[in-house]
Homo-oligomer: A and B are copies of this chain.
């Protein structure tokens, strides 16, 4: 049975403050939990209605606690709770490699967008994601769910992005309405790609550090669509940076 204090501790992890304090985050659902268990993420506790579909490593078997659906409902942040919930230790991640493609987010605020962007990084083999400190926390439960397990395969760091970019030697790309056509550009294998905030795009301070302004051309006859969603714009940018690699390998 789950104690009251335990329930309080777990539901507290829906808040960034307590995640930071405890160094833990919540994952829900068999699929997401299994993907995290297979990765280097260290579990702290696993709660489930049953454990037959969970791939719990031998050394972590003692972390499993059987709970009822009613108990799971108390600790879940989902409207329709899954059959399992687990706590994982937040990994200490620092990206200091600065090789290949790094995606950098300048204040992306929507958890669904960040989750989709993490999945896109995983798909396109971009293992380094650098976020401004104002970007939504990647251990926010909504982000964890939206990543569908991809979270465990990407190195995500929250840094002072101005300082990060000031020390950068690779070209720094950013999308702007008046940038040069991304489809006509020769894109390098080593670069930082900056994506901006949902409402305001790339901030003025960061724009000063962009070395290559690019644009995704707009085709509509009326030319009225004001912008693409940040996740779909990221999809198109990563696709363009990576498409050249396919014929070479």
Given A231-B232, A232-B231, A235-B232, CB of A184 within 8 Å of CB of B220: no
Considering only residues 132-183 of chain A, those with a C-beta below 8 Å from chain B are 148-150, 153, 181, 183
Beta-carbon contacts of A225-249 to B below 8 Å, as 1s and 0s?
1101101111110011011011100
Chain B contacts of A125 at CB under 8 A? 218-221
A124 touches B220 (CB 8 A): yes
Interface residues on A, range: 35 or more
Chain B contacts of A112 at CB under 8 A? 112
Beta-carbon contacts of A183-221 to B below 8 Å, as 1s and 0s?
110000000000000000000000000000000111111
Which of the candidate stretches A60-68, A69-77, A114-122 sits at the interface with the other chain?
Answer: A114-122
**Which of B123, B218, B228 interacts with A218 by CB under 8 Å?**
B123
Complex Cα distance, B233 from A46, in Å, reads 33
Using a CB–CB cutoff of 8 Å, the interface residues on chain A facing chain B are 35, 112, 116, 119-120, 122-125, 148-150, 153, 181, 183-184, 216-222, 224-226, 228-229, 231-236, 239-240, 242-243, 245-247
